[in-house]
Amino acid sequence: METVNLAEKFSKFQDYCKPRLIGEVNDFHVKAVKLKGEFLWHHHETEDELFLVVKGTLRMKFRDREAIVREGEFVIVPHGIEHLPVADEEVHIVLFEPGTTLNTGNISNERTVSYLERI
């Protein structure tokens, strides 16, 4: 029941593509992540994902189009849909998604974050 300041949370880490846990709402997680460059094509078998941009611009690529998401905007990616998050410049994103969600979805590689640090 403490107030969480988003800018303060984002000041606590500088690396990219590694989400941190900043809140839990029942079995859902609220995460903070910084992104710069291309992430990787992936999908989530069962989990929808909400990407809320709090700084910068996110380009969410789908196989047939892309969504531009600016500060104060969000996009929801339904489960099963392949997507590639791209940030031409650093972007700060708040994620809302089921607690079971892995950052790389159906792909398991060196970018997969299996331990979620709480900050």
Of positions 39, 49, 85, 104, contacts its own copies by CB under 8 A: 49
Whole-number Å distance between alpha carbons of 34 and 20? 10
Q: How far is the CB of 110 from its own copies (least distance, A)?
A: 28
**Token pair of 30 as six digits:** 């609220």
Is residue 24 within the footprint of its own copies (CB under 8 A)?
A: yes
Is residue 34 within the footprint of its own copies (CB under 8 A)?
A: no
Is residue 109 within the footprint of its own copies (CB under 8 A)?
A: no
Whole-number Å distance between alpha carbons of 77 and 46? 11
Give the total of residues touching its own copies (CB under 8 A).
37
Place of tokens 């709090």: 54
- Of 84 and 109, which has the nearer Cβ to its own copies? 84
Q: Which residues from 86-105 bind its own copies, rule CB under 8 A?
A: 96-98
Whole-number Å distance between alpha carbons of 73 and 64? 21
Is residue 107 within the footprint of its own copies (CB under 8 A)?
A: no
**How many Cβ atoms sit within 10 Å of the Cβ of residue 42?**
19
Is residue 4 within the footprint of its own copies (CB under 8 A)?
A: yes
**Token pair of 1 as six digits:** 């029941």
